[in-house]
Structure 1
């Protein structure tokens, strides 16, 4: 690696001040992280910025760059919102409010437009992250050609992100039953949902794996349809709904069989 790894006294003091800033406000934190990155102030202890962030702040790579991205968007809004006659009181107050804009990789002018729309949707208040996410979705759907990458029958995981209505189902696996331009109609073990395509992650299963998870879903749905599940049964089934694999462990299989014996065998 080129250049000296040693920091001068001034650089070390600067690094200490910047590290303290990172632990405070999101805007200043993002600016501080970007300065540490661009000036390579991590070089005395780390070979790269990503490992430095993880060791020093316990920030993952994605989270560190999200902070930097949020600071850039904030600065852009700070510079350009006055020309849109929007009061400074409507500037973001939390990093999460800017996450949807950062993730969408909008251009500077689009960032201002979407934030303006979000403020309007929030009835002239600082919008929540969910409102900003909706403003981003509406903007993209008006300005991009629809492309749904999924297939009917595909098994996916629901990732709620900033969609409050999906929080209950975050991490749950589901099966796509219908494709729409920007959403998918999906089946979980207990209900049917309309989920935006950006809130779905494919499992990429082969035919045999797909059949295994499908069979598990059928068994879970059969239990739900008895209409007599108690809280303990729901607790078990909600846990199975968030499996990160296409098969049951021996203990999970035993638990599911106990529920089937309790609810299905008796009803039969």
Structure 2
């Protein structure tokens, strides 16, 4: 009696030669082949390594906060003035930021500071990026901690996503909504609709200077007017962007007070009063500066 065929240990498919039709390795042998795996033991972190890891993780999580704080100081101290005329140009050339990115980081840093001060720090759950914080900028600083803690609870004690934070903010806004939800300093667009008194003002930006029950007094490039909330639509600008527009409005208002303002200058101011963005282009800024120098404003 011939001895049974010896099973071979297959380590890979390449060990079987497909050109041998009478190979003595059956399909069953191949299926039952075993591969020896050597287990690699991963050493546990030492207490010192664990401490270093936590420290480095905190630095990564706070990177956006530190960037926002640094940008605030650069802006407030005007440390860009030796090389750039405006803060926005400096951020674009030095950091590659678009017009909103620097302000988003600064607003996020302010919210982070507020949460770090007012939230329960026992679990150390704080935002780890600007995107998580952005919905909170729509709320009053006193309400931001409540919205964040609700978002943390919904995320089962973990850092909540942007969507979860946005949902928490929306619920609070719906709960606290009043007939007039506009805020002082908010930049809106005027909607003429069926109000003949607003004719010629359609599309102009307007900055809220007084909030009534169902109306607002707003400042435009051409003066102040009181309108019902149905004739306003928010541009949803960030707080820093609203401040920028307030600065533009103040400059235009001072020029409008000048005597003998020429028609060409008036046309430029009217154009600036209709821009639908929270900044002036380089050309617009140059034109406004020329008019200011001409009238020594």
TM-score (norm 1): 0.43
Q: Which structure features the higher share of helix residues?
A: 1
**TM-score by structure 2 length?**
0.39
